């Protein structure tokens, strides 16, 4: 009975899902703009047109965003932006 009430030692506890992604990822202004394009559901080509940059540059920014946010996909990065209320990520002109 005492074992049930005893909390697990720190090293045995499961991390919370939110702890997996950095709470304050250091994003550049351009990364925030690209993240806004992901939130809007744009492809890399559409984001490149909207931002006036090359598709290759968008691809690099997306890769950096995935790494910085701890996301496994574009959709997960977009969800991360919404959950963390990233300022400017929802304000993309296309």
Residue ranges covered by each domain of the chain: 40-88
Which CATH code of 1.10.10.10, 3.40.50.2300, 2.40.30.20, 1.20.1440.230 fits the domain covering 40-88? 1.10.10.10
Return the H-helix or E-strand segment holding 78. helix 74-83
pTM for this entry: 0.71
Q: Any idea what the Cα angle at residue 92 is, between residues 89 and 88, rounded to 5°? A: 30
Taking only the tens place, the pLDDT of each residue in 8-30 is 666 666 555 544 445 567 999 99
* CA–CA dist 12, 6 (Å, integer): 13
Taking only the tens place, the pLDDT of each residue in 37-89 is 999 999 999 999 999 999 999 999 999 999 999 999 999 999 999 888 887 77
DSSP 23-76: TT----HHHHHHHHHHHTT--HHHHHHHHTS-HHHHHHHHHHHHHHHT-SSHHH
Which tokens belong to 80?
Answer: 């991360």
């Amino acid at each position: 009975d005492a074992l049930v009430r005893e909390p697990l030692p720190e090293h045995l506890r499961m991390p919370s899902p939110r702890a997996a992604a950095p709470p304050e990822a250091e994003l550049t202004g351009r990364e925030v703009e690209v993240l806004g394009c992901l939130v809007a559901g744009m492809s890399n080509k559409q984001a490149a047109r909207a931002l006036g940059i090359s598709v290759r540059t968008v691809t690099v920014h997306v890769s950096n965003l995935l790494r910085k946010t701890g996301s496994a996909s574009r959709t997960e990065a977009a969800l991360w932006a919404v959950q963390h209320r990233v300022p400017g990520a929802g304000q993309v002109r296309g």
